[in-house]
Amino acid sequence: MTIHVQNPAARRLLIQKQLILDGAVSVEALSRLLGVSLPTIRRDLAMLEDGRLVRRTHGGAIVEAPRGADQAFALREQIDTDEKRAIARAALALLEPDATVLMNDGSTLLAVAREIVASNLKLTVVTPGVNIAALLSESPNISTYLLGGNLRHQSLGTSGAFAEQMLQSFNADLALIAAEGFTALDGLTYSYEADATLAQLMHKRASQTVVLATARKLTERDRISALRTNQANTLITGCRDRATITGFENLGLHVIVANDAASDSNPDTGNP
């Protein structure tokens, strides 16, 4: 679909939004999307680069290249990318304006953060994810609280007593919790005690708990339990295996299948 945008400022905001969602974009794609010439797009990208908002490449632009711990995280982002984006869009649909939302760390929640920023939704968000908080800070409509504590190199998330104490101060409408493992039998599980503890606290501090899990996570059990399956209210997943979904529904969870166009819980066909 082409959006004809002649106002330069509005056009550059749309370019930034597309980069937030995609990470990289070509001049040709932007020209088609915005209904303007290639030279116009190149001038827009040059101005955005001058403002250090993007980095131009041959034929397009990208968000700033990751360094250090971000590189390991960026590799994890490349796993199940489409499914994580679909999950993020489904999660966005659950958010009400002015809500207070708790989000743990991880690449799925970073995808949610991109959708939130692109939507201009007004929210208060509490997270241990440093990269998630940094991304959310790009929107003036979002009040972002970064939990303090020990910063782990691989996850880019904080944990420990300081993070837990700060989290106890918030009363949230919704907790969006990304799973390392989530099965109907074993519940929500993690590799590390600190992650399990934060998930437990987020559940306690929120009125509703939503677990975000790709299809592969619904077959995994990690070593530390955080929540029983029926403690969650909703599961958002890209899994379309009827038997797997029924197992969660039988325990009282509302299941949203993210790759269903209607984001509904009626996936009668298909497999993960």
What's the pLDDT tens digit per position in 30-57? 998 898 999 999 999 988 888 777 888 8
pLDDT at 242: 95
> Cβ distance 136 to 144 under 8 Å?
yes
Those residues whose C-beta lies under 8 Å from the C-beta of residue 93, and which sit 6 or more positions away, are: 263
pLDDT at 78: 53
Interval 193-210 mean pLDDT: 97
Q: Mind spelling out the 3-state secondary structure of the chain?
A: CCCCCCCHHHHHHHHHHHHHHHCEEEHHHHHHHHCCCHHHHHHHHHHHHHCCCCEEECCEEECCCCCCHHHHHHHHHCCCHHHHHHHHHHHHCCCCCCEEEEECCCHHHHHHHHHHHHHCCCEEEEECEHHHHHHHCCCCCEEEEECCCEECCCCCEEECHHHHHHHCCCCEEEEEEECCEEECCCEEEECCHHHHHHHHHHHHHEEEEEEEECHHHHHCCCCEEEECHHHCCEEEECCCCHHHHHHHHCCCCEEEECCCCCCCCCCCCCCC
Q: Decide the pairing of beta strands 224-227 and 187-190.
A: antiparallel
How confident is residue 4, by pLDDT bands cut at 50, 70 and 90? Answer: confident
Q: Which two tokens stand for residue 187?
A: 């519940």
pLDDT at 99: 98
98: left (phi over 0), alpha (psi -120 to 50) or beta: left
Given a cut of 90, is residue 183 above it in pLDDT? yes
Q: Which two tokens stand for residue 165?
A: 């104490």
Given a cut of 70, is residue 262 above it in pLDDT? no
* Fold of domain 8-62: Arc Repressor Mutant, subunit A (1.10.10)
Compute φ and ψ for 202, nearest 5 degrees: -60, -40
Domain residue ranges in the chain:
8-62, 70-257
* Fold of domain 70-257: Rossmann fold (3.40.50)
pLDDT at 182: 97
> Cβ distance 48 to 16 under 8 Å?
yes
- Render pLDDT for 114-155 as a digit per residue (tens, 0 to 9): 999 999 999 999 999 999 999 999 899 999 999 998 887 666
Interval 246-267 mean pLDDT: 76
Closest residue by Cα to residue 1 from 23, 19, 18: 18
Q: Rounding to the nearest 10 degrees, give the CA dihedral for residues 13, 17, 22, 24.
A: 20
pTM more than 0.75: no
